A and B are shown apart, each in its own frame.
Chain A
């Protein structure tokens, strides 16, 4: 059965919100699975800590396969987006710590929640680079987020993307 479009932005508590400044809005783009809407390209809000960029951390809307960089010692990169889907689909979370330090462990986590009450999450200590494939269930409205971060005594470079 088709699903009526929500969005263009929203979250689980409010699925119909206008597009807004990603640095201030509590909402994120609502996507059609992994596809574009006719008047809205697929997007997620990426938030990264980069000591050279203000505000710190800073947020922006990114598409699939768009790499986000960070320069931080105790932070990282996160993504959040909402989706609607009549069938389950996979999202890939790619990351790489470019200048790994011998001390301090990185962290990686993801979670999703749907308006129907489905939820799942995971947390692990990842390798310095890799890809995590997460299957998101069909939902009239779901919200997904993921992050990778470090806990290092030094500033490290890292990057991440969704695909």
Chain B
């Protein structure tokens, strides 16, 4: 036999259910906000760590520079690397997250193309055994340019 509830009881139950749902929704919103904030904080930490690595590499390289031209190029490379790191950690696509990107840039020396270190405050890091190298390429307009590659010895 079906249980028959009174109108007053039914209203009370619906009110209870509504409040429970509202509380759950509020909790879900809070959880999402917390997750988003944690991701933003992590992104900011990674960005700062990467910028610190880039600046450290620049300081080391500038001491070895032999000419004003070389120093200017180093400064340009440093600024470009920092700009790229900011774009890297400030995705314009709201659906893009840090986890969506598989490879991080590090503070490798942009002048000599030596591999950089993945530790030292930066987030993410490189896969074991890999290092970043700046390698010259011909771009789509026949201009000389460069790209960062992950490389590994056999």
Listed in ascending order, the chain A residues whose CB lies under 8 Å from chain B are 1-5, 32-38, 84-87, 89
Which of A4, A5, A32 is within 8 Å of B143, CB to CB? A32
CB distance from B46 to the nearest CB of A (A): 26
- Nearest residue (CB) in A for B138 is A3
Classify the secondary structure of B's interface with A: strand
CB distance from A92 to the nearest CB of B (A): 16
Whether A32 contacts B144 in the complex (CB less than 8 A), given A3-B137, A5-B136, comes out as: yes
What's the A-B contact tally at a CB cutoff of 8 Å?
47
Asked if B142 is at the interface (CB within 8 A of a chain A CB), the reply is yes
Would you list which residues of chain B between 131 and 147 have a CB under 8 Å from chain A? 135-147
CB<8 Å pairs between A and B, sample of 28: A2-B139, A2-B140, A2-B145, A2-B147, A3-B137, A3-B138, A4-B137, A5-B135, A5-B136, A5-B137, A32-B138, A32-B142, A32-B143, A32-B144, A33-B142, A33-B143, A34-B142, A35-B143, A37-B136, A38-B73, A38-B136, A38-B146, A85-B138, A85-B142, A86-B139, A86-B141, A86-B142, A89-B142
Query: Which residues from B are CB-within-8-Å of A2?
Result: 137-140, 145, 147
| Residue-wise interface mask of B (119-140) relative to A, using a CB-CB cutoff of 8 A (1 in contact, 0 not) | 0000000000000000111111
Query: Which residues from B are CB-within-8-Å of A84?
Result: 138
The size bracket of the interface on B is: 10 to 19
Listed in ascending order, the chain B residues whose CB lies under 8 Å from chain A are 73, 135-147
CA distance A1 to B140 in the complex (A): 7
- B138 & A5 in contact (Cβ 8 Å cutoff): yes
Apart from A5-B137, A34-B142: 14 A-B pairs, beta carbons within 8 A = A1-B140, A2-B139, A3-B137, A4-B137, A5-B136, A32-B138, A32-B144, A35-B144, A37-B144, A38-B136, A84-B138, A85-B138, A85-B142, A86-B138
